[in-house]
Chains A and B, each alone.
Chain A
Amino acid sequence: MLFSGIPFLFYFLPITLVLYAIAPGKLKNPVLVFASLIFYAWGEPKYVILMVATITAGYGFGLLIEKCRKRGRYSGLVFSMGVICVLLSLGFFKYTDFLLGTINSVAKTNISLPCIALPIGISFYSFQLISYLADVYRGEETAQRNYFDLAAYISFFPQLIAGPIVRYGDVAKQLKERKHTPEKISYGAGRFVIGLSKKMLIANVLAEFCQAFYNSGEKSTLLTWGYAIAYSLQVYFDFSGYSDMAIGLGSIFGFEFPENFNYPFISGSVTEFWRRWHMTLGSWFRDYVYIPLGGNRRGTVIHLRNIFVVWALTGLWHGASWNFVVWGLYYAVLLLIDKYCLGKLLSKTGPLKYILTAFATIVGFVIFDSATMKSAMLVFGSMAGLSEYGLLTTEGLYYIRSYGPVMLLAIIGATPLPKKAYSRLKEERTLGSILSLIEPLYLVILLMVCVAYMVDGSFNPFLYFRF
């Protein structure tokens, strides 16, 4: 079930809200667990068992780790076993075909691929569970004794399928006690509508342009550039829109989730980009892989190793394919160049650093979207002016004209400008009052337009749900 669908918005959500509202305090988390399992089962009926098994395993391992830690024995072993179990599950479902395919390519064997269906959200909830076990192992958090509280943390539907990756520590207290105020609910509802609008009205429209590019038999240079920019923006609006919806829904149910995006396209360096893009994933890898490996505190060689390991894993996390690994390593190289070579120089180049960072990001997303490196190279060739169709064809011009306005809207929307402009207008006394007054109205209008798109369109999943 997806947020951008009618079953979620008009069937699942209202019932869940009512049940949650009428449930007494102690039953609120079980209601969320029940609703989340229904939500998950809607998309993956068979894998609900895996979800429940994962929660149960996490619950058991958490308690055992804490018990062992208090006794001063075997906590490390139990923690390792817990993490291995989670990683085995993730590895089996997500990477078996990739591994066998790679063996076939390298060893020229012909092992048949089992084509295992990927449980939705497994990358997200696996990482959440690992972070829980790690925090308990480190003594930073107490193991959760209430099964439903832990289940609510792992399976909570707003962030189950596509994040943000919520650390247990961020919500441990909120699981026990949280406030439901009109301010939080109204903030959450508004944030949800904004996120839905980003997804339906910008990301999905940009996706149409990208689809037109894929279908085109005349990939001219400018059309290819248009696609590369549109795809980068599509991923941003799709994913950040989803994060907004997750944070908004969390707020409605009394939770405060961490932010996941902070206007990444205004970054002046690749380092800064990754501090603004998918922040919860970046901080997860930093805290649970990079720092335990030694970070940058054990010499340059170790630092280089750690960067490459983290970014190869980051790439692999995004997809079980070598182009994702290349994508991850691409960023590893750029980050190291930033740190060791050109970072200080670039920081003094004024606007050029933003252009270069944007360019690097767009190139990265082309790799991200390509099925193979060969197809990525073809795209790069076209961007470099080597297209056999020249600079622009009639078809290319048409699509750029047709989607140009929404791309412009997306470019502006990807910066803090609209928010700053709106805040400034609200500072005006009369205008500010008017804007406050009509804010609920335009949220309803936006919601109605999004629903109109849902009715008119076809089923359409978030890009990141496959992770």
Chain B
Amino acid sequence: MEKIKPFVTMTILGIFLFTMSFLCWIHPAEEFSLSERRKLAKMPKLSAETIVNGSFMKNFETYSQDQFPARESMRSVAAFFSMEILQKKDNHDIYVENSSFAKLDYPLNETSIEYASKRFGLVYEKYLNRDNCNVFLSVVPDKGYFLAKENGYPAMDYGRLCSLLIEEMPYAEYIDIFDTLDADCYYKTDPHWRQEKIYGTAKTIAEAMGVSVSGSYKEASLDVAYKGNYAGQSAIKTESETINYVTNAILDNCVVTNYESNTVGGIYDFDKGNGRDPYEFFLSGPVSLLKIENPTVKNGKKLIVFRDSFGSSIAPYLSEGYNETWLVDIRYLAPEYLDKFLEFDGADVLFIYSTSVLNHSETIK
């Protein structure tokens, strides 16, 4: 055995090396990573300039990682080794407790909270500081609020986050929704909450704003095997989930105007639901400006929601109480230009943001 072992070792390792090398050379480049929800690097431009300045080599490193054959499988191997063999508690800051994926978000970044509140303050001073505007604030806890502390993971100080925001936004009535939620209200593999589980949360917010929601819905499912953001980022193997949504006659009659794509449609975007990120099924995902018109309600009330992606799935409930519901995402639309698109007079205004976005508010313009 000892005599042939060198030949066997050489052969096996050689086959592995040259086979993988061959595959690297011939593997067709892919555009997009579904699991990571991002574009994959393309082959960098090869020229004398890019060689001399080193950019070709630097970009080729990224390209070779992104375009490696069986990339997803390789990432899963790394995740398995990390979590099961090395017994690490998280992979890329994502951990799993009770089959639910959550992201480590620690510590509280008070500078970030202050920045967010200053941007909201700018909106208030410029547009909302008038007698007939009712301003509300609600904070959506991320899954870590329910999973982190009790399972020994570091967790940000949620109480301090909310009290900081409340302190900086005295013009807004705070609506506490923490008690209306639990870990099961969220997708297992994604940071977002499940629409069918947040009726209670929507009702709390609506009642605080002086409107009502119908409470009567049919539940339907999107025909998609859904694996959320966290599953993709962590590369930890998991089962897929379903995306459920609620419908009734009111919601079915709502008309949604998407000012980014200049299209008109319904609350649920079935094309996006079958696309790269199925959560975009809800109001077409990250859109800077949307209007939901509800012909069923005749109260003349208008709601303007400053929101992040969590707003997409709760806004349909809230729109039941208003003639018009505007959704504004100031991560994509600078607050300075809002008066070009919106009339604020007499509107109820709701700032609803997740703790994740608030703790990393650099994306807010």
Contacts and interface: CB of A to CB of B under 8 A. Distances in A.
Q: Which 10 A-B pairs have the closest CB atoms?
A: A186-B6, A452-B77, A402-B89, A186-B9, A456-B78, A6-B64, A452-B78, A405-B87, A182-B6, A395-B154
B61 A190 contact: no
14 contacts: A6-B24, A6-B68, A7-B57, A9-B21, A45-B53, A186-B13, A217-B107, A394-B154, A395-B106, A405-B86, A406-B88, A433-B1, A436-B2, A440-B11
Contact of A10 (B21, B75, B106): B21
Most chain A CB neighbours (cut-off 10 Å) among B12, B54, B78: B78
A409 B85 CA distance: 11
Given A10-B20, A10-B21, A45 B5 contact: no
A185 B78 contact: no
Contacts of B75: 452, 455-456
A201 interface: yes
Contacts of A367: none
Interface in A22-57: 42-46
A440 B8 contact: yes
Contacts, number: 146
B61 A5 contact: yes
Nearest to A12: B21
A324 B87 CA distance: 35
A395 B78 CA distance: 24
Contacts of B53: 45
Contacts of A398: 89, 152-154
Nearest to A447: B16
B68 A455 contact: yes
B17 A205 contact: no
A186 B5 contact: yes
A454 interface: yes
Given A7-B64, A43-B57, A205-B88, 7 more contacts: A10-B20, A205-B82, A440-B13, A443-B13, A444-B13, A449-B81, A457-B65
A465 interface: no
B107 to A, nearest CB: 6
A439 B10 CA distance: 11
Interface of A: 1, 5-7, 9-11, 13-14, 42-46, 181-183, 185-187, 189-190, 193, 201, 205, 217-218, 394-395, 397-398, 401-406, 409, 433, 436-437, 439-441, 443-444, 447-449, 451-459
A397 B235 CA distance: 25
Interface string B287-302: 0000000000000000
Contacts of B61: 5-7, 459
Contacts of B249: none
B178 interface: no
Interface in B11-61: 11-14, 16-18, 20-21, 24-25, 51-54, 57, 60-61
Most chain B CB neighbours (cut-off 10 Å) among A181, A187, A436, A455: A455
Interface of B: 1-2, 5-14, 16-18, 20-21, 24-25, 51-54, 57, 60-62, 64-65, 68, 71, 74-75, 77-79, 81-82, 86-90, 106-107, 149, 152-155, 235
A395 B108 CA distance: 13
Given A447-B16, A456-B74, A11 B1 contact: no
B152 A401 contact: yes
Contact of B9 (A14, A43, A440): A440
A42 B87 CA distance: 36
A249 to B, nearest CB: 12
Given A10-B17, A444-B12, A449-B77, A403 B88 contact: yes
Given A186-B7, A405-B87, A7 B60 contact: yes
A449 B14 CA distance: 16
A454 B17 CA distance: 14
Nearest to B8: A440
B65 A454 contact: yes
Contact of B74 (A185, A433, A452): A452
B72 to A, nearest CB: 9
Contacts of B51: 45
Contacts of B74: 451-452, 455-456
A403 B88 CA distance: 6
A402 B10 contact: no
Given A10-B20, A394-B152, A455-B74, A401 B89 contact: yes
B218 to A, nearest CB: 42
A11 B64 contact: yes
A441 B12 contact: yes
A11 B152 CA distance: 44
Nearest to A187: B6
Contacts of A46: 52
B199 to A, nearest CB: 34
A46 B18 CA distance: 31
Nearest to A7: B64
B152 to A, nearest CB: 6
Contacts of A405: 86-88
Contacts of B1: 433, 436-437
